[in-house]
Amino acid sequence: MKAHLIGIDVGTGSTKTVLVDETGSVVATAVSQEYPLVSSRPGWAEQDPEHWWQAAIAGVRQVIGSSGVSPSSIRAVGLSGQMHGSVFLDRDNRVVRPAILWCDQRTADACAWITRTVGKKRLIELVSNPALTGFTAPKIIWVRTHEPRTYERISKVLLPKDYVRFRLTGEFATDVSDASGTLLLDVRRRRWSTDMLRLLAIPREWMPSCHESTAVTGAVTKIAAEVTGIPEGTPVVGGGDQAAQAVGSGIVRRGLVSVTIGTSGVVFAHSDRPRTDPLGRLHTFCHAVPGKWHLMGVMLSAGGALRWLRDLCCDEEKRQAQQASVDSYELMTARASEIPAGAEGVSFLPYLSGERTPHADPHARGAFIGLSLRHTRAYLIRAVMEGVGFGLRDSLDIIRDLGIPMESIRLSGGGARSAVWRRMLCDMFNAPVCAMTVAESASHGAALLAGVGAGVFPDVPAACDTLATSDRMDPVPDTARRFERLYRYWGGLYPKLKTSFRAAARLS
């Protein structure tokens, strides 16, 4: 009987599930219905963890049912998920408050306190990263400061995919790639930082056990088997969504870089050793490949910015898409393709949730600049796509400046499905690009990690040898030169508006 693997990616907007066979080929895919992100105050972002679990159940049942494969052929389950989010459980393992997400910006004061308490230089020594608002530790400090009664009830702190792991297996566990984004992991030594936990007065027993991303950390329980259809005893592994996405894109060797446009935008570079950006603009995290690391630049609103615009003012495209049974984003990007590069002077800063790379500014906000009576909705769509591309270019330039080899750029995520956006990014980066042929790289990467954990593949690079990419796309020199000029102009906008953003934050 052919072996099969399940990959589940607990995303910010929805949960994606894939069923993969022993050759690495996708047999079935399921995307759950979108679940809500609650922003009760400016800069806040929360979700109910129960939505993730119900979406995981629905996705697993769908891929098993639509594929027709025997559940007994499922060898392992791989988990991936949005990083940094904090799920707080009490002693009875009940969720005590909504999860605070990666894009939540409420923790600026907590980050400042952490930096003062530990010291800026000591932070890099202990956990290889500065204190940023999206990370997990500042969220714990925020709850301690602002919700002391909730804090007193906490018994465990889990990351989003690890909450689903707990519901599947009954085990409290995480992996080094996801734990790297907590600000509590000794990234160089790939273990919880005792010193950091002590300095922040966070109990060690709150943290789950920490493993390599290919390690089996538990097995599907009888109760979980009954609701999901996965056989009881099936082993479970997992990695953070960006490391899993990188595995699903084959970024497991030196010289390979990926650019992912999901809700967030991520530039990910493989590294054989832990390297840090002296200015702290890039994250240094453990890779899902055992004994490897990566550098990562993150912008908080990438595909999420286009979704925001769609929901705000693209009802006509949504209506036409529904009538034609096509994706509304396909119609939106088609409109954008009719507008020249530069959108005739309209620029967009995609900082709708603040920003991480390169500005690390929770007060940054989105902005359209250069609007006139001439400009239509198509210009706004074009400007949003270009603003996201320029934001990704910021991280690529930092990676280049650090001397990290960049032989190939692979595009993945929902945004990479757009031929218009792929063409735009190729010219913006002035570098050859190719796209992954599998649309859901994070869930696919999770399935490959599961295959390594279950012994279907000997190691992660061997698992990635099963992946395929689209044909290479090369930049058009004239367009690349125009984008270079536009990028220099765009890059000067944030410094001019930074003070205004902070003033606006005080008014909210």
- Rounded Cα distance between 396 and 348, Å, is 19
DSSP helix/strand/coil, 91: coil
Q: What angle do CA 169, 207, 88 make, to 5 degrees?
A: 75
Residue 241 bears catalytic tag: yes
Angle, helices 419-429/328-337, rounded to nearest 10 degrees: 50
The one-letter code for the residue type at 92 is: D
- Rounded Cα distance between 85 and 109, Å, is 18
* Residue of 388, 358, 413, 386 whose CA lies nearest to 485: 386
Question: Strand locations in 22-143, DSSP E?
Answer: 26-31, 46-47, 74-81, 87-89, 99-100
What is the gyration radius of the CA atoms in the chain, in angstroms?
A: 22
Catalytic residue among 9, 21, 175, 241: 241
- Rounded Cα distance between 10 and 56, Å, is 8
For residues 207 and 39, the answer to whether their CB atoms sit within 8 Å is no
- Rounded Cα distance between 382 and 411, Å, is 19
Peptide bond into 358 cis (omega under 30): yes
DSSP helix/strand/coil, 191: strand
- Rounded Cα distance between 266 and 245, Å, is 10
Q: Give CA 49 to chain center in angstroms.
A: 17
Residues belonging to the active site: 241
